[in-house]
A and B are shown apart, each in its own frame.
Chain A
Amino acid sequence: MSRTPHRELSQMAVGERELDSMTCELDEMHRQTFPGVHKMLGEFGANLAQTGRRSTGRRRFLTGMGGAVVLGGVAACTSSKSKRGASIPAPISGSSGGKYVGDLKVVALAAALENLAVTVYQGGLVKAAKGQLGTVPPALASFITTAMGQHRDHATAWNGVLTKAGKSAISGAPLTITQDHIALLNAARSVPDLARLALALENAAAETYTFAAGTVTDAGAIMTAATIQPVETMHAAILSFVLGQYPVPVSFIGTSNAVAPSALTA
């Protein structure tokens, strides 16, 4: 029931310098807070190392789902000015570790989705800095930098699971849906354009993890999905509010727009 400290209300638009600063602060914050996440994943990875050796005859995880959810583009987050002027890079990368099966395929899918989210937000920052989205309100800038950092944490978490299980980490977003989302990102000409793209991504991630929480068998994987899913729904709520939509439109997070594991191309 505590109140947050009083916050000064800045009404300045955000420029490149501010975006740089925010990104650097975010990086520092993550370096300070990530040890706890690694501890959790240590236990998670140990469990999944066994899961990955089990039968590949996995059943119904997201089977039958369309996987046609519109998401975003990719690229590792960077505050480097040397990359600021570059166009949004093609994110389809993958891994050198071969196929992922069972729960590990779901984990790899999750890592790819998180990378896709990072790319969308990073690409949004690049476009904002270049003035391609018009004036970026402070609330949007703070949303993007914080959400991007959290997605980066999520990707690191999921990739930690893969590497501990003896699999290669997922780099980029090796997904069948990636190119379409890069195109949408490149086509974005305004803050609402970017917000709509991000909202679709957040909703898809949340639904994917809702289904994962009910479907994967590894206890660590279940809890990882369970603890990340609410964060994606919170991102979605703020984006909806920004877009002038009702922020909590459904009473139950569904799964009909979840991304199918078959969308993973690594």
Chain B
Amino acid sequence: MALQTAAGLENLAVFTYETALRFPFIGGSSANDVVKAFATKTMAQHVEHGVAFNAAATKLGGKTQNATDPKYAPVVQAAAGKIKDPLDVVGLAITLEDIAAQTYVKNVGLVSTPDLRALFASVAGVESQHRAILLAVQALLEGGAPQLIAVPPDLARLPGAAGNVGFPDAFLPTAMAAPVTQGAVR
């Protein structure tokens, strides 16, 4: 069930980035190239995660989860309808990445085999990286400095906040973790 729930979260993340990329300020003509590339690559990484979780589920004799997470999908749908600017998209993505990372960290302690623990840990680290970059992007957007979202960055002009806003906790919390049964295939 934990694997199916994880796959559902990944499917929702893919849906979210796919939706985001349809907005001109994320994936269109007015988009920042770095943000567009990040959204595209991140979506692809979530596809890989979903495939991995579903493969692990079927290896254990379970069914694949091809739907989006039942609890958060309506929330994303509602939020998507209200998106007006890049900050709205970034905020939504941060929340989803955070939920996924916390869920997988908690699952590391719940699943029964070394391989599954390693899989959840492996993916949790990547979702956390997505979140770290999104938090930095959010800070730059809120600071009115979208021009500083660039690779390579103009280091001399990056504000101090860009250096540490991406990792607010010394230990990743798990309070937002989704229950293992949340996305189970019935």
Contacts and interface: CB of A to CB of B under 8 A. Distances in A.
Interface of A: 1-11, 13, 33, 37, 40, 135, 137-147, 149-150, 153-154, 157, 191, 206, 209-211, 213-215, 219, 222-223, 225-238, 241-248, 250-255
A141 B163 contact: yes
A213 B118 contact: yes
A213 B106 CA distance: 11
Given A229-B125, A242-B153, A222 B158 contact: no
User: Chain B interface secondary structure, helix, strand, loop or mixed?
Assistant: helix
A146 B108 contact: no
Say which size band chain B's interface belongs to.
35 or more
A147 B169 CA distance: 10
A230 B143 contact: no
A246 B151 CA distance: 8
Interface of B: 41-42, 44-45, 48-49, 52, 79, 87, 91-92, 94-95, 101, 105, 108-109, 114-115, 117-118, 120-133, 135-136, 138-139, 142-145, 151-153, 155-167, 169-174
User: Chain A interface secondary structure, helix, strand, loop or mixed?
Assistant: helix
A116 B37 CA distance: 34
Given A225-B121, A234-B131, A251-B48, A1 B92 contact: yes
B170 A234 contact: no
Contact of A142 (B126, B131, B160): B160
A222 B108 contact: yes
A32 to B, nearest CB: 12
14 contacts: A5-B142, A7-B143, A10-B159, A13-B156, A137-B158, A139-B155, A145-B164, A146-B167, A214-B115, A215-B118, A229-B121, A229-B124, A247-B133, A251-B44
